[in-house]
Chain A
């Protein structure tokens, strides 16, 4: 398997030289032309990078990566709103913005309300670990950097036009405002193309999509893939098969850092894999394995939307007042092995600081922040944003076959 990967890598390297020599032609070399992200790498013809930043954001958080997104009414160049401090989250799918950040040149009502298969207004519930968001599904054009995604379903959270939230959505506190969520929106650019996927196509899954007939209550509905909230990058004309997040190294609490979000993998000279090692993800869940302390955590994940390393270790004391985080008396050096189910493995060293000491610096970049996580089987090890400092992390979408490996995968 490794030999196959090495050969594939060599082939990919040779072919990417050809792509560069062709001057970025749109003719794909690995499959049929990409439509919304499927097929092979489609080179883009526009600049494919944009700056991203880790700073305190609207609510003073830590290790939260932010980007700027412009939302427009479909086919409009004037009914547009540029929204900064949208959280870049490889742990979710889809653009979600808070209705409260609209209202200048663009109101929520100017974005067409999506409908379910019965023709009723479509609303959505987004359930996080720590709460939920509720709002309408609307159609918009997005501009992210120099790339555009046209007529894509997005989630408008806290939309006053939304019907009352149904009981099956309420899985914790409401996060329908910037203050309760901690950002002006979420840019979900994980490995999948839609947030729910085939489960919501073939059945009614409470906690996702709801039809809200006028004057009635909302009820959960099945929804075709094309109508679900989409991974915006998959809708770009090119550079649409994945993303790369590159952040500078940080060894100590740092006020802010700036990095790069690159669209596409192996589509332009600036997003080649280089020496990065590929790890396949569970095609249903987007997870992989972590080997730590003699145990395998089979539901592990690499997630720019988590603000620390979250893992199970009963020997590390939890902070007494900030119980989401670890408080060793002094920084501890640790290591764990990230591995996929095909034998690709890498040992990753990391350090865990005393979280209270780190918070006292008031810095937004805390590279050694860690905390506990549930240990029930199959067990999770969350490689959050600290993992990204000093790395380029590649996120390849499902439905792609890149460098000889079928997506979804990650590489670093």
Chain B
């Protein structure tokens, strides 16, 4: 991660890359719309998305992090975990399909694909229904079965103090 974000503004996303990704996501997803700040983005982007996209947003807070849960009807629920410094350090998903990873993973999409590709080169693979791997910047665990998709991707170096992967539900 690079510099801390500038003071949040309701109408301007501090990361233009994220903004382009979210606009593209809206175009791609259309009626199944969702609101996201992608992995690694500032949490303020979540609030900016909600007006533009069709997902409903629910935020809950623990001592160490906020969970922004975005749900679209009959679609996959995505949870974004934001630390106290305002960075999304983990995303999880649960629903009938894999969410659009360009949207959910943002700037970490390429690292995710690279890590999954490296895992495919392992001598012994785990089949097509589960996958776990650790890439230089992220750890990913994915399940895909019939009409079910589960996933958890987090940035190990950005976990708040005292937070373990098991807390990311």
Give A contacts to B, CB under 8 Å: 61-62, 64, 89, 91-93, 127-131, 167-168, 170-173, 175, 180-182, 190-192, 197, 199, 202-208, 220, 284-287, 299, 301, 303, 305-308, 310, 314, 322-325, 355, 359, 371-378, 380, 382, 384
Contacts and interface: CB of A to CB of B under 8 A. Distances in A.
B146 A91 contact: yes
A255 to B, nearest CB: 17
Given A208-B97, A305-B129, A324-B122, 6 more contacts: A61-B125, A190-B146, A220-B28, A285-B148, A301-B148, A306-B130
A172 B116 contact: yes
A203 B101 contact: no
Given A92-B146, A305-B129, A130 B100 contact: no
Given A203-B31, A324-B132, A306 B127 contact: yes
Q: Main SS of the interface on chain B? A: mixed
B52 interface: no
B134 A323 contact: yes
Given A130-B125, A323-B134, A355-B124, A373 B94 contact: no
Contact of B143 (A62, A93, A202, A380): A380
A305 B127 contact: yes
Contact of A325 (B126, B134, B151): B126
B144 interface: yes
Give the 6 A-B residue pairs with the shortest CB-CB distance, closest first.
A374-B141, A286-B146, A324-B126, A172-B116, A128-B128, A377-B169
A371 B116 contact: no
Nearest to B128: A128
Contacts of A375: 141, 165-166
B19 interface: no
A157 to B, nearest CB: 12
A205 B97 contact: yes
Given A128-B129, A172-B113, A380-B150, A303 B31 contact: no
A376 B127 contact: no
A274 B120 CA distance: 41
B126 A308 contact: yes
Given A190-B146, A284-B96, A323-B133, A206 B28 contact: yes
Nearest to B148: A285
Given A91-B129, A323-B134, A372-B132, A287 B124 contact: no
Interface of B: 28-32, 74-75, 92, 94, 96-98, 100-102, 112-113, 116-117, 119-120, 122-134, 141-152, 165-166, 168-169
B120 A173 contact: yes
Contacts of B152: 374, 376
A129 B146 contact: no
Nearest to A63: B127
B33 to A, nearest CB: 11
A380 B132 CA distance: 13
B144 A127 contact: yes
7 contacts: A130-B142, A206-B100, A305-B129, A306-B127, A373-B143, A380-B143, A382-B145
Contacts of B143: 129, 299, 373-374, 380, 382
A170 B125 contact: no
A260 to B, nearest CB: 22
B125 A286 contact: no
A376 B96 contact: no
Among A203, A206, A306, residue most surrounded by chain B Cβ atoms (within 10 Å): A206
A287 B148 contact: yes
Nearest to B144: A129
A284 B149 CA distance: 12
Contacts of B142: 129-130, 374
B169 to A, nearest CB: 4
A165 to B, nearest CB: 13
